[in-house]
Each structure stands twice: as structure tokens, then as C-alpha cells.
Structure 1
Amino acid sequence: MNQPIKHYRSTLGLTFDAQMSTAFCQLWRQLGAVEFPVSVMDVLEAVCPTDSCGILVYYRQRKPMSLLHRFNPVERKVPADIYSTGPYALDPQYLLFLSGCPTGAYWLRDVAPDDFYSSEYYQTFYSQTGVADSIDVLWRIDDDSALVFFMQRNVHSPEFCQADLTALTMVLPMLSEALTRHYQLHQPLPQQSSEDKTHQQVECTLNHFASSLLTKRERDVLLYMLRGYSSALTAEKLNTSDGTVKIHRKNIYRKLDIGSQAELFSLFISCIPYARPDEATDPLLQYQSSKATTA
């Protein structure tokens, strides 16, 4: 009697060395305990080594909240908490969360705009953190929140590769099931205060920055500039021509009396503290008024 033919296939494997084995054992040991998310981070670091990493909670209506941050302070030129003061609003991975992306591992190079690495957001803020490359492992809690394990390599280390992303994707289903069970056993995620003035000011600045000087179309172009989109990709997004976008960019510089994207980024960030969420007013006016008063 003929035996049924078995179909064999090779599989991509992970090395269960001492670090990996210890990390997974600790993960199950901490299930339902307060330190469980840290154990998830330890597993991810065993799968894919990093120079710095941490855990954030992303909210749709509030600023991100930091639960853990491991970094090398020698590499950083900006404070660790500066991200939550406003720059997060221009972060490609935060914007991906806002778009409703599902649970998954997201490599910066796959989600960033085409001009991100030459954008002023990158030059003025992102590169000052010492980070050259990152992967976010995002676990979706619900439509309005997500747990984010960010993994980073610094400017002196090799960038991530496709094998790193594949390995993280392999372990994610296990971690996702463990996270689901953990939050069934444990208390809900910590919540930011409902009175989150910073996020309200950031949202107000995004909605009204330079509205007193620019047309709606110019403001559309301005937001794409801040996020690191080239003229060509901005034109594609706005269904117009590259030449038209370049004209809008020149008009933006002229009307705001600036000469570079660096000045534009700095001006945007400077206006955030002057935004008035309860008023549909341009925070740039309040910022300029404050400068005039102190001059």
C-alpha cells in the first residue's frame, strides 16, 4: 500500500539562544503583572538587537504617553521627552497610527515620505535624537489607541534589514495573543489626563498655523512640506502639477518671511505653545505678538 506523499518545506528559523529563551520564559512569568510590557520589549530586543528602544501609548485625541525608554544619552542632543511636546504630530509612524493601520511591524523606510531624510523634521529633530533607523511594533488596542514598541539603531550602527522585519513579524502573532491575554487579566492601560492641553495645542496649530496669511491650498502644501514630502509627491497627493506646488512653496516662504524649511519647521514648533484650542485663530499671530512685546 502506497504511503501518502508528505510535502516538506524549509522554514525561516529564529535562534533560541540563552537570551531568547530567558526573554520568553520571563514573558510568560510576567503575564498579568505590571512589568509585562517590559518583558515584551525584552523579547523584541532578543529577536532584533537595538541601540535604543521603548514603549509608547498612542492616542487619537491625546499626546503619546511614554511607558519605557532605554537609550544611550551620549547619542542624544535633545531631551528624551521632547517628542511629546509637539514633534510627534509630524512623525510618519504616528501618522500611520492615525490612519488606522492594523497591528504589525512597520519599518520607517517603508512608511516615511520620499523626502523624509532631507526634511527639516528629520534634520532639526529626528537626527538630533541620535537615531538613524527605526521599526515600530504596533499593537492595536482599539480604534483610538495602540501600544507601540519602538526599536531604534543609532547613526554609528548598521541599519535594520529585511531579515529583522521578517523576524519581528514572525513572533508578533505570539506576542499579540499574549498581550490580549495580559490585558484581560490585568488593569487597563494607564490613561492620560482628559485635559491634555499639549495635544489640543498641537491639533490647533496643525489646523490653523499660518491661516491668517496663506490660502487653503498653500496651507495644504505647507503641511506636506513639514512632513517631508517632495514637491512631486505633494503634487500627486493634491492632484496638481509639480510646478504649481513649487509656486505655492515660494509663496509660503515669501508670506511667512522665511528662507528655508529649517525656519518653517522652527516657526511651526515655536507656535504650538501659543495656540488657543478654544478659538479658531492662527497661533502665528499670538507668537508674533509675543515677540513684538518682548522686543
Structure 2
Amino acid sequence: MPNQEAEARLAQTIGSLEGDGFPPALGQWLRAELPHDNLTILAYFQGRAPVALFAEAAQRQVHENFDRVYLGGAYLLDPFHDLHTSQAAPGVYRLSEIAPDQFHRNPYFLDYYANTTMVDEMAFVAYPAPGVSLHVCLGRDTTSNTRFAARDIARARQLAPVVGALAVRQWADLADQGVYSEAEVTERLIAALAATHGVKLSVRQAEVALLILRGHSSVSIGLRLGISPQTVKVFRKQLYRKCSISSQAELFTLLLPLLGR
């Protein structure tokens, strides 16, 4: 059965292209198609921190620490940012389907993400310019306290080409000249930790630290780095000893302020 409200909202969205009214119009159309509690539109770049292009939410907590914590450096731990760095195909992605195996147990999730009151999230991913990915993120939080149903995900996949085409048209002027390098992120972390706390990590120890903070288990880290889980555990012990800590929570507290440097 035709959704007349959604069709009218889509027409308004198309009519608002290349103007300031496009982001809220896009949100209204998507809400008619896929009921959600919050919307965040982010541009990820290869050579610099992401930029929030639009954000709205019924719950204040959703974006309360977004600028300070997420854009301040925590985005480097986020599964959606990993879609950008891996240049995932355009489409729609659900957080629960792309998150590392221990994401819901790691300090980034427990100390930041859980406090946003989010209970589910999906993102439409598009590439409006070289080195730039555009994420239109729809969230469910404690406002509705419901997860997206299978029919919502199926509908999102149907809408993904349209959302992507609109996003590319709206934000085609975004540009980035940098090149993302995980090695550079690792080197910056090593330098910042040494300068701030006098702790000198090896490259492998820093790589393991970042993957721990992203929510990867020893098995997952081993697969990423091409080493055995037992070797990962050795690096983890070395890392904790050098940093004089004994938990992931302490590692998160120590390293998070350094990620944005």
C-alpha cells in the first residue's frame, strides 16, 4: 500500500536539495519510512576528524557528549568509522552486524555509547567525494526503547540507493586531500603516550591497545594482525605492565584523551 506521507516527504526532500533545509527534510522523510528517535549525519574524512552536518534527538543524552568525546577522538574506536577506513560498499549497515565480537563489553561502549541511551542504530553510507564518506545514522533510544525490526532493515536496504544518491548530490562539494593510515594513528598514539606519561609502547603493543579499545577479543585481534591469540595475550600483558594498569577500563581512561591529538 502506498505511503502517501512518505512520498510527499520525499518530494519535499528532493525540492530542498542543495539548501540548508535538506537535512531536516531528509530526516522527516526517513521518519515517515523508518520511525526513529534520533538522526545524526556525519562526514568522515581520510586526513582529519569527522564533521557533524546535522543532529537531532528527543533525548538530550544522545548528543550530550558527542562533540567533546566522539568528535574529540573516540570516533577512532567506533565501528561506523571502521566502515569508512575499510571503504565499505555504499548501503545500509546496522551497528549490531558490524561491531567487533566484544564491542558491548568494552569501555567505549560502556562509558560512552551506553550513556547516549541508544538501543539500536543503523547508518546509510555514501561516498560524495574522494576520501569522504557520508553516514546518515538513524537511532532508536530510550524514547521508544525498541530495536529496529527485520522489516525496518529490509525497508532500509530498499531505500539505501535513494538515500545515497541524495546524499551524494547534497554534499558533493565536500573535499579531503588526506590519506587515512592506521599506522599513522598508531604512531601518533605512541608519541602522545610517551610525551604525556613517559610510557613507550612498541608498534605492536599500540596496535593491540587500539583493537582492545574497539572491542576485539584476543581471537579477533589475532585474526586482524595475523598472530595467534596466545601472542595477543602476551602483548596485552606487556601493554598493561608498561602502562601500570590492570583493566580495559583503565586503558580506556588512559588513552582516550590522547586519541584526538
Q: Please classify the TM superposition score into its range, dividing by the shorter chain length.
A: 0.7 to 0.9
The aligned residue for residue 237 of structure 1 is: 224
TM-score normalised per structure 2: 0.84
CA distance in 1, matches of 2:169, 2:229: 50
Alignment-derived partner of residue 103 in structure 2: 116
CA distance change for structure 1 residues 49 and 204 in 2, over 3 Å: closer, same or farther? farther
- Paired residue total: 249
Counterpart residue number, 1:261: 248
Aligned match of 1:173: 161
Pick the aligned partner of 1:43 from 3, 6, 29.
Answer: 29
Q: Please, which runs of 5 or more residues in structure 2 have no aligned partner?
A: 178-183
- Of the three residues 39, 57, 68, the one matched with 1:53 is 39
Evaluate the alpha carbon distance shift between residue 157 and residue 37 of structure 1 in structure 2; reply closer, same or farther with a 3 A threshold. Answer: same
Q: Partners of 1:137 and 1:252 in 2: how far apart?
A: 36
Hey, what does 1:288 align to over in structure 2?
Answer: none
AA aligned to 2:90 is T
Which of residues 62, 77, 80 in structure 1 aligns to 2:66? 80
Q: Which has the larger radius of gyration?
A: 1
**Candidates 147, 153, 175, aligned match of 1:159:** 147
**Cα pair 2:37 2:141 within 8 Å, conserved:** yes
Cα distance change, pair 207–107 in 1 and its aligned pair in 2 (3 A): farther
Paired residue type of 1:36: F
Gaps of 5+ in 1: 1-14, 195-200, 276-295
Alignment of 1:273-284 (within 5 A): 275=261
* Distance of 2:165 and 2:31 partners within structure 1: 18
Specify the alignment match of 2:5 in structure 1. Answer: 19
Query: Map of 1:88-167 to 2, 5 A cutoff?
Result: 88-155=75-142, 157-167=145-155
Identity of aligned residues (%): 28
Match of 2:181 in 1: none
Letter in 2 for 1:121: Y
The DSSP-based 3-state class of the residue aligned with 2:165 is: helix
Q: What SS does the corresponding residue of 1:54 show, helix, strand or coil?
A: strand
**CA distance in structure 1 between the aligned counterparts of 2:66 and 2:204, rounded to whole angstroms:** 35
